[in-house]
């Protein structure tokens, strides 16, 4: 499906999660099997060119695309999680997002030294979450092969936070 067709499957929810925010809801896209398959096809085409050795998914909506993408590509899936979710030794990074501060974790042994990782999430907004995920990959010895996003909010200039990395997005607002 073309990006324009996919946009019709993204619902705008004003005032969520707080007043002044326009939330781009991907659940209608997820409910459409042709659209979901089309998104995975585009992510896979981009990821293949990046030659990853693993797919990293950012909690939580990045799991919706990263897990199936890893399965399709026969690659390991590595979750980047919110604090307190990983049971074994892990690395943590604190970062800022558009409405607060947060932290992300990755298992310390999730990647081998030099292993290329393609990082997947549903949305690129300010880039803080994606940049923190890249830092985690690098802290444990991995190499960021690129990023894949379903939606990009261009007005928030998230690509600037990812300067020096390849970033791909399917739908842009």
Query: What phi and psi, each to the nearest 5 degrees, are found at residue 169?
Result: -135, 150
Domains and CATH numbers, the chain: 36-172 (3.40.50.2020)
Spatial CA neighbour of 39 closest among 119, 151, 126, 167: 151
Q: Is pLDDT at 17 greater than 90 in this prediction?
A: no
Q: What is the pLDDT of residue 18?
A: 87
Predicted TM-score (pTM) of the model is 0.95
Check pLDDT > 90 for residue 1: no
Q: Could you write out the three-class secondary structure of 66-124?
A: HHHHHHHHCCCEEEEECCCCCCCCEEEEEEEECCEEEEEEEECCCCCCCCEEEEEEEEE
């Amino acid at each position: 499906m073309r990006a324009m067709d996919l946009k019709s499957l993204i619902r705008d929810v004003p005032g969520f999660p707080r007043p002044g925010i326009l939330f781009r809801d991907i659940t209608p896209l997820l409910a459409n099997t042709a659209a979901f398959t089309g998104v995975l096809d585009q992510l896979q085409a981009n990821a293949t060119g990046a030659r990853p050795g693993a797919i990293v998914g950012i909690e939580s909506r990045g799991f919706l695309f990263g897990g199936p993408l890893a399965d399709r590509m026969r690659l390991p899936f590595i979750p980047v999680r919110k604090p307190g979710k990983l049971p074994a030794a892990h690395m943590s990074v604190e970062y800022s997002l558009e409405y607060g501060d947060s932290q992300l974790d990755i298992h310390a042994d999730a990647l081998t030294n030099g292993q290329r990782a393609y990082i997947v999430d549903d949305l690129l907004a300010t880039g803080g979450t994606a940049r923190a995920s890249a830092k985690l990959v690098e802290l444990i010895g991995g190499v960021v092969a690129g990023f894949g996003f379903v939606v990009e909010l261009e007005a928030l200039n998230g690509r600037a936070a990812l300067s020096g990395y390849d970033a791909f997005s399917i739908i842009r607002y």
